[in-house]
Chain A
Amino acid sequence: MKIEDFFYRVGELAESAVVKLLGAVKDIILPSPKEIPPDFKLLRKLVKKRITVHEFLSLKLQVIFLLYLILNLVIIILTHENIFWLMLIAIVYFLYLRRLLWRNYYFFIEFEPYRYFYYGIFLITLVAFGGYVLLRTLTHVVYYYYAYLATIFVVVLLFRQFFKEKYGRDWTYGVVEEIKGDVVKVFVHDDIAANVKPGYYWVDRVGDLEEGRIVKLLLEEKMLKGAVPKRIIEVFLDHQSSNISTEPKEDKE
């Protein structure tokens, strides 16, 4: 190998590295929707089941939010009143969250509620912990802390209420998987707006049902458990839906 070639290589590497870095920075600062779904290497190892991209995304959002929360707690405990670490982690989390959301814009069944929800809880967390650090510098009287805690709890409940008002529904869509006599098994996607967990639900059978048909399901709200489909209120004859392609094949072990 000639020395020139070597320098060329170095030059190319440097150039490409700069380009890659710039690309990465651009990707972080101004993420754009991608056509290719992410492969969720880590999550796939954790979740052995085959689930849809939408559900993977939802799971990832939850996991990184939980990580963010735990990190906040650790920072509070270990560094005490250090707001710098809190802000740093907040920025990192926010950039990552934003990128994750925008990048997978096409893979969300419904993008807006997810974005709103995760931005919202991020903001609440940031304010809650930041305010807490601020409070600690102001007072050491235990009762103020309880009062603050109660305030945050109220804020959380208000946010939940507000979110429900804005995006909340008492119905969701499901796909008929199996018809057995009087009951029908439907598959429901994760739907943050309806607060329904993904999975199979048994509902009463109605007329005009076929396997693979999309149905509109009435939900019943249950505290902490989320909503549960109760009845089929509408059957869509046209089963062409954008969601179908993302629906995983029936999971048979």
Chain B
Amino acid sequence: MRRRAFLINSSVILLLIPLMLLLATYEDVSYQIIHAQSERMQIESTFDVVSSLELNFQKALEISTKRALITTTEYVASKGFISGEMANQTIADLIIWGQSPVGISSDQSLGMWLQNITSILRRQGYNISPSVNDILNNITIRVAPLDSFHIAVIARIPRIKITSASGGVIYEGAIPENRNVTVIVSLEGIEDTFIARETYDLYHRLIKACSYPYPELVERPIKVLSGTGESEVPVVTGVYGEDINYNATHIWKDSSTNTTINGVSVSPLDVIKDGDVGVLVFENIGTTGPKTWSVSTQEEWQENTQSGTNYEISTGELTLKKYWKVLWSFGSASVSYGETKTIANVPSLPTSIEYKWTTSLKIEKSGLWLESPTLKISLTKIGVSMECKGSCPDISKRFTENPSSSPVLLELSGGLGIGSATGYTQNNIIEGYVYHQNGDWTSVVWDPKLSKPAQIQSFNVTTSIGTLEEVYVQVGVDINNDGIIDQWTPWLLLNDGINVMTSLNLPLGYRWQVKFQLKTLDNNDLRHAPRVQKYSLLVKPLEEESGSNSRAYDIQPFIECLENGYYFGIYNAPSFFERLEGNFNPDRHRKYEALANRTQDLLGISYNGKHYPIGLVSFILPSDSRIQLVLNTAGATLTNQTSFDYYFLKYYIDGSTEKEGYKMYGVSAGNVITDENFYLDYETAVALFGTQGAQDLLQR
């Protein structure tokens, strides 16, 4: 069977029409896909233009800032400090316009960048409006110190319009779109032109941070270990590993001096390195051993208050501790002169009063005597008197009436000869005692004004107790320093004679009070009454560590920064901008500080919730040969002016801003000397080393 297969059937021919059209469409559709892709590429390239503009802006800002900084420092070094405006304003002008009203011009600025980028974009088919000058006028910029070693520049172009060659608006808005461009430039490695300017360009120093850049905030450039120790001298300087030795628990100087620090909480091995300069500081040299307060009750408790009876008894003025001198009248038989002592407030009616020489009253004669003098003692108002020659006995008097104020007359009479007689008690103490029969007696609250609570060491009571007589005692203590006695011992029965009570079982306290109870069981016995002759309470504050408080310093980190002229960032020092201005003015400093604080807040930078400082300080070593040259050129002679670079140069070169400094142990005082002319003011020392460190390390 043959078919004429060369002919196509009519349906197929018909279907060829849409098929051909499909082919045409396919070509067209693929063309459209390519077209769409190229359109997407166009959009992407538009996006690229904006984002690259942003990136470019950031870079241009960074370059312009660095350039402006360098140009400014060059200007200051060669022409003079920036005056008339704030240095940050000068730098801002340089960044934007490339020139400042002060007369500085920079060869890199945002202005130049904008010119370039505009022409480049124009070649690529993009137009930027408004004009370059208008954009520059509208740029918002803030040049601020960020901290001591960085400045921050925050800028934004608020409005820019990019159009394509065909006139379509590609972008309209701020650059960057919804944030600021922030550039942070480190000041490290930039010359401190303040120093160059002040030293007639003879001395140069680059700003470089010490390894402990923020001593007030982060870590101090000294290491300190505290413990207790013994030493013959308050401060010892030396080099660790050479003349100061250390191990895990002790630090000691070589055998020639008795210097040790014990009980350091941190192992010195972890902190100290061989070759580091060390300073050992000891408190209260010479007062070794615990401090104790011994209490003579009769001296301290002057105003006793009788409780429960009618009597108020005071013994205070009766105590004659002083050297008692009797004047001698030569030749007269009966007239004598003597020193009188008045009992100020003799109580209304004591049952009895008794005076007793601690040992005996003696008359010492010198010269020629025909007759021995007589000592006469009288309590005039009470009518008590006694006479004695040489050694006198105790006297006592039982009161029957209110004695009121009763002067005590001590009189020496009799005697004939040429010379003098001096009367004194052997121990220079006359003690007075009160006692009464069958009554209670309460002392006042004794307040030895302690800073920390004390423990009763001993309580001694001397009594005279006859048969059928009893004496009890009770001691109270103020535990919580509120003035009120909180706890009492039970009534304790005393023996006749000396009672030494060691275990009163009372807690530590700040104030004490004593109560006595005297009982005569036989009321008809008037020959003797129970007596408390003497009591004394001895308290001792808490046991302190043996040895004096002492600290071992390793000041090597500070010395290294000092020798290299590295900078510290502290609050009270001129910032970089102030150094460009050549003037450290408190008002200006506060302005810069406020600006820095705002910038830190904006960028979310802080250290433990505190703002970083902006001040910069390095130290001048006056013995450095180049500094000597500078000082000789200025005709300056060294004094104790602080070596703080700003104050040092201002004082010696400009003759202004005097600031007293002190030698520092381990640097300019002691055995190890870096520069004997180095002086450091107390304020800066506190900033660098803290209060304790400044007190210990400065030789004041």
Contacts and interface: CB of A to CB of B under 8 A. Distances in A.
Interface of A: 47, 49, 51, 55, 58-59, 62, 65-66, 69-70, 72-73, 76-77, 117, 121, 124-125, 128-129, 132, 136, 140, 142, 145-146, 148-149, 152-153, 156, 159-160, 163, 185, 190, 192, 195, 197-202, 223-226, 251
Interface residues of B, number: 29
Given A62-B8, A199-B1, A199-B2, 16 more contacts: A47-B6, A66-B16, A73-B23, A77-B24, A77-B27, A121-B13, A124-B14, A128-B21, A129-B24, A132-B21, A152-B21, A153-B18, A159-B14, A197-B4, A198-B3, A200-B1
Task: Return the 6 tightest CB-CB contacts between A and B, nearest first.
Answer: A199-B3, A226-B9, A198-B4, A76-B24, A153-B18, A199-B4
23 contacts: A55-B7, A62-B7, A62-B8, A66-B16, A77-B24, A77-B27, A124-B14, A128-B18, A129-B24, A142-B32, A146-B25, A148-B25, A152-B21, A156-B15, A156-B18, A160-B11, A160-B14, A185-B1, A190-B4, A197-B3, A201-B3, A202-B1, A226-B11
B590 interface: no
B7 A201 contact: no
Contacts of A200: 1-3
Contacts of A58: 7
Nearest to A72: B20
B10 A117 contact: yes
B102 interface: no
Interface string B7-41: 11111111111101111110111001001000000
B5 interface: yes
Contact of A195 (B5, B10, B27): B10
A128 B20 CA distance: 10
Contacts of B14: 121, 124, 156, 159-160
Contact of B13 (A47, A62, A128): A62
Contacts of A224: 9, 11-12
A145 B22 CA distance: 9
Contact of A197 (B9, B25, B28): B9
Contacts of B27: 76-77
Interface of B: 1-18, 20-25, 27-29, 32, 35
Contacts of B3: 197-201
A238 B7 CA distance: 30
Contacts of B35: 140
Nearest to B9: A226
Contacts, number: 105
Contacts of A160: 10-11, 14
Contacts of B12: 224
Nearest to B3: A199
A145 B17 contact: no
Contacts of B22: 149
Contact of B18 (A142, A149, A185, A225): A149
Residue of A47, A156, A202 most packed against chain B (CB within 10 A): A156
Contacts of A121: 13-14, 17
Given A156-B17, A159-B14, A160-B14, A149 B25 contact: yes
B20 A70 contact: yes
Contact of B4 (A55, A69, A152): A55
A251 B20 CA distance: 36
Given A73-B23, A197-B9, A124 B1 contact: no
Identify which of A73, A117, A201 gathers the most chain B CB atoms within 10 Å of its CB: A73
Given A77-B27, A132-B21, A152-B21, A140 B32 contact: yes
A28 B28 CA distance: 36
A145 B28 CA distance: 9
A92 B30 CA distance: 31
A118 B18 CA distance: 16
A72 B16 CA distance: 12
Which of B21, B22, B27 has its CB near the most chain A CB atoms (within 10 A)? B21
A69 B6 contact: no
B466 to A, nearest CB: 133
B303 to A, nearest CB: 112
A251 B4 CA distance: 12
B189 to A, nearest CB: 59
Contacts of A51: 4
B7 A197 contact: yes
B7 A198 contact: yes
A128 B16 CA distance: 12
B29 to A, nearest CB: 5
A51 B21 CA distance: 33
Contact of B6 (A59, A72, A128, A251): A59
Contacts of B2: 199-200, 251
A200 B4 CA distance: 8
Contact of B25 (A140, A145, A190, A223): A145
A62 to B, nearest CB: 6
A28 to B, nearest CB: 25
A129 B11 contact: no
B28 to A, nearest CB: 7
Nearest to A226: B9
A201 B3 CA distance: 8
